[in-house]
Amino acid sequence: MNGISESILFTALGVALHLTLQVLLFVRVLLKPHRDPSARLTWVVVVVALPIGGIIAYLLFGETNIGRKRAKRMRAVLARMPTLQAAPGADAPTLAADIPERYRHLFQVGHSISGFEPIGGNRAQIPPESNAVIEALVADIDAAQDHVHLLFYIWLTDRNGLKVAQALMRAAARGVICRAMADDLGSRAMIHSAHWRAMQAAGVRLARALPIGNPLLRVLGGRIDLRNHRKIVVIDDWITYCGSQNCADPEFRVKAKYAPWVDLTIRFEGPIARQNQHLFAGDWMAHVDDDIDALLRRPLPAAEPGISAQVVGTGPTVRYSAMPELFEALIYSARHSVVITTPYYVPNESLQAALCASARRGVETLIVFPQRNDSRVVAAASRSYYADLLGAGVRIYEYVGGLLHAKSLTLDGAIGLIGSANMDRRSFDLNYENNILLYDPDLTRQIRQRQQHYLDSARRVDPDDVANWPRHRRLLNNTVAILGPVL
């Protein structure tokens, strides 16, 4: 009897401990700041439905936490960095952004996120395809005179990845200061390769963004899946690249069956490079004991009148909901047309509502997704939103020429947004992202032409086809979408 009594007692204590842990977790979910109600409800359901797995999942992925030490260091770095109110030493009237009154509020949203004012005097080129981007980048590195700064989420040891690595080594050999940073997860193949060691031996200064270390211990110091998804290149404080392209071949051999990866990247010249420099410096100094604040205080040369642009950097240590706020502000400002390309679409409720409202008020609202997505889960979640979008009058297209990876938005033929951020919860809440918001009818026209190329290579989604999807498909899509807040 004693053995049975002890067994019952231990069982009761185990159940009581588990229930206590669940209640404490519920309280934490409900009290955690910056979490929308749907996310709270989803996590409560997960913890209830999966009594043990749900608790483990929340402890691993439930909170946007990069770790106290890392967050403290990032805050200290950003606090001491000089603010960029205007380009020091440059002619202010020449560099003043020339933006019509009806669009200035959009750049105020961007300013509220990163603290950067829109700045004029920029020029831009859109290389025709991914290999041309790498060719231009290598040429710019070979022509660099002072420094090259580079940050990529994915840097592969393929043809294009090695072209860039070799260009950096050539630049370092002639005395150019080269700093290169790669995300520890996305670029793990390069980081653990002989090419990384060769760059280091050649004098290229290297850093791993958000290093994982021991995965079992890493979770004690913050979420393991918070990543630096940015793609930043700054050369001599005057040339910068921004867009969706990683440092890799379009064949993207790690996921070759979805290839080619179709990207959109823009090469800028002008004072906008200083704002990307600021983003890079913050990321670099948060990981490396290498103070480069002095670069941000150098005077910039006077620039010719040109494109008005603004860098918008977001991430888990930046203001909550920053990226969806910018997307929504742009969509609600559209009067004639808004065209969007994104590979991943797992929106929050307000972004979905913004797109539907845009179409309902008569704005031509087009959105292009890849027909084949490298994430089946995200693809299913994305398609759960099709019926409501189509019902509101949004025209949806699915690109069939590869994996459309370009992240772009054009508004009324005047405003453009390009960068690294997707329209999904990961880009909104978990990843460090960088984008450039711009006003220039000519450059926006060029972006729109590229978008039209995607549209011409896409299949329009028929509302009747979506309405006739079999029940099991709709059930799968909608079930996956419920998990959107935890994806």
- Kindly name the residue from 36, 111, 147, 236 that is annotated as catalytic: 236
Question: Which residues are 262's β-sheet partners?
Answer: 404
How, if at all, do strands 423-424 and 345-346 pair?
parallel
- Kindly name the residue from 149, 163, 231, 278 that is annotated as catalytic: 231
Nearest to 239 by CA among 148, 178, 131, 115: 148
Decide if 407 is catalytic. yes
Supply angle C-alpha 248, 113, 268, rounded to 5: 45
- Kindly name the residue from 229, 278, 287, 440 that is annotated as catalytic: 229
Q: At a CB cut-off of 8 Å and minimum separation 6, what does 191 contact?
A: 182, 184, 208
How far, in Å, CA of 182 to CA of 185, rounded? 9
Q: Are 329 and 338 within 8 A, CB to CB?
A: no
Nearest to 286 by CA among 209, 196, 187: 209
Decide if 456 is catalytic. no
How far, in Å, CA of 100 to CA of 119, rounded? 14
Q: DSSP characters for 182-214?
A: EETTTTHHHHTSHHHHHHHHTT-EEEEES---S
Alpha-carbon torsion, ordered 58, 287, 311, 66, to 10 deg: 10
Decide if 32 is catalytic. no
How far, in Å, CA of 449 to CA of 461, rounded? 21
- Kindly name the residue from 184, 287, 405, 429 that is annotated as catalytic: 405
- Kindly name the residue from 407, 424, 429, 440 that is annotated as catalytic: 407
Decide if 263 is catalytic. no
Decide if 69 is catalytic. no
Decide if 36 is catalytic. no
Q: Are 432 and 223 within 8 A, CB to CB?
A: no
> What is the rounded radius of gyration, in angstroms, for the C-alpha atoms of the chain?
24
- Kindly name the residue from 412, 424, 429, 440 that is annotated as catalytic: 412
Catalytic positions, written as ranges = 229, 231, 236, 405, 407, 412
